[in-house]
Structure 1
Amino acid sequence: MKKTLSIILTLVMIFSIPAFGAEQDIVEIAVGSEDFTVLVAALQKAELVGALQGEGPFTVFAPTDAAFVKLLGELGITAQQLLDHPQLSEVLLYHVVSGKVMSTDLSNGMTAPTLNGESITVDLTDGVKINQSNVVTADIEATNGVIHVIDTVLVPAGFKLEVLPETVVDIALSNDDFSILVAALQKAELVGALQGEGPFTVFAPTNEAFAKLLTALDITAEDLLSQPDLAKVLLYHVVSGKVMSTDLADGMTAPTLNGETIKFDLTSGVKVNTSSVVLADLEAENGVIHVIDTVLVPANFTYRAAEEQVEIPATGVSGLNILIALSIISLLGYILVPKKQLQ
């Protein structure tokens, strides 16, 4: 009896096709439904609206707002954090299959590659499931494909939950190994700039990297922080844009915010000039940090030794009064002392 009821519900679901669907494309159907507000916002954020308004055809497994709420609860994040996730596009494309696949085309155990690159699996043993998600409404036809509504967001295997730090500065502040770098940024008044919208790519020297530089220059950390060209050194570690390690190529160069250029060497690990990258791709919402083992020193940096301060004697009122008094005494002595008479 239970199996019969399941079959009946499946047939009802399959043939419950909204009348308005065939007159609209996939995106227009989603926009016109109050159940897809999060999905529409995600498509807009990932800049996939235009793609899904294309000729297609596409088969979209569309999660409802309730499905997204369930996912957010499981991940412990907000809708905004999901929309800001760097893999948002990958998640959405995991819900799209090329071609128009109607419910009648499905078979138990069949798989289909998605536009994400990973495959989904169909299970018809108890209703219709895509992976672990139930199809709650099938075959909503559009002018460029078909929508099947699902009750659970499909999460690809490559998805990694990561609530990113707000800025690259926050990454540095949270790591004791960047204490000298943070002090230098504060001294050079660059903290606010690197907390901006960005994005920035920062090659961040560790404390050990700074210690190596201090030894080479035979100076203290305080001497380095007092250098007039400190900002030039720091900006030589920053590139505009978000450059991930996968974006690098051997021999490529990149202009820094200092104005000079750095060069990448991938022949043995990853090097920036002569500095090795020891940890890559620490992402923040406004950029990325790559940790390096040697401070990058730009050609336009000039080390200046601390100049000795020469004390200048005070020339205040008291000193002037003494000078006047001595002048008056000398004058009186000249007047009062009798001069010898010439014989």
Structure 2
Amino acid sequence: MNKSMIISAVAVAMAASNAVTALAANPKIGGAAMYEDKNIVENAVNSKDHTTLVAAVKAAGLVSTLEGKGPFTVFAPTNEAFEALPKGTVETLLKPENKAQLTKVLTCRVVAADAMANTVAKMIKDDGGEHDIRAVGGCVLKAKESMGKITLTDEMGGTATVTIADVKQSNGVIHVVDKVLLPKM
């Protein structure tokens, strides 16, 4: 093997490594790849861990909003987080007569900005350890950082931890959380 063949082989290997790194940059959610060129809804529907959230977004009529230009930051609770709510809560919220209440719950986890975790962490630090995040639903989430994890406290005093951060979307970012954030009703 001559020198130019070795250099070519190394270049191909480096290109392949860079391609894998680029693909691995966005974490999988619910076993599904999340693509930066797809919007929040297009990606979320593929996550087996977010079927309840997707059903709720559809029931509230928010699909077209979350498919919109954005940017949006969505703190997305898993199915497990919804299951931890008191028995019957999800079923009650999904009823057509409770659409306004469901919309409030959902929009209190959406921020009209593209807020990556390092940006949120900087705001927390700049504000002395706690930062108020105003959601599009009018709610205020209290963000803190502890042991490298961002936590959010809702208006009811419940706290959710960001378990998967910085899942880039074409119209914003998703941060997976382990609890359902609730507004004052």
TM-score (norm 2): 0.72
55, 62, 80: which one pairs with 2:69?
A: 55
Deviation for aligned residue 1:157? 1.4
102, 124, 128: which one pairs with 2:150?
A: 128
Where does 1:252-331 land on structure 2 (aligned, <5 Å)? Answer: none
* Cα root mean square deviation, aligned: 1.6
Contact kept in structure 1, 2:26 and 2:36, CA below 8 Å: no
For these two proteins, the number of residue pairs brought into alignment is 141
Q: What is the DSSP-based 3-state SS (H/G/I as helix, E as strand, rest coil) of the residue aligned with 2:130?
A: coil
Question: Does 2:90 match 1:83?
Answer: no
Where does 1:138-177 land on structure 2 (aligned, <5 Å)? Answer: 138-158=165-185
Aligned residue number for residue 173 of structure 1: none
Aligned residue number for residue 66 of structure 1: 80
Q: What is the DSSP-based 3-state SS (H/G/I as helix, E as strand, rest coil) of the residue aligned with 1:128?
A: strand
Q: Distance in 1 between matches of 2:26 and 2:164?
A: 8
Deviation for aligned residue 1:17? 2.8
Radius of gyration: which is bigger? 1
Q: Distance in 1 between matches of 2:34 and 2:171?
A: 14
Question: Does 2:135 match 1:114?
Answer: yes
Aligned residue number for residue 92 of structure 1: 106
Quick one: percent identity of the two aligned structures? 39
Aligned residue number for residue 22 of structure 1: 36
Q: Distance in 1 between matches of 2:172 and 2:74?
A: 8
Deviation for aligned residue 1:35? 0.6
Q: Distance in 2 between matches of 1:78 and 1:112?
A: 25
State the AA in 2 paired with 1:79. V
Q: Distance in 2 between matches of 1:50 and 1:142?
A: 15
Q: Which runs of 4+ in 1 moved over 4 A?
A: none
TM-score (norm 1): 0.40
Question: Which ranges of structure 1 fall in alignment gaps of 5 or more residues?
Answer: 1-14, 159-343
Deviation for aligned residue 1:16? 6.7
Question: Which ranges of structure 2 fall in alignment gaps of 5 or more residues?
Answer: 1-23, 28-32, 154-158
Aligned residue number for residue 59 of structure 2: 45
Contact kept in structure 2, 1:16 and 1:138, CA below 8 Å: no
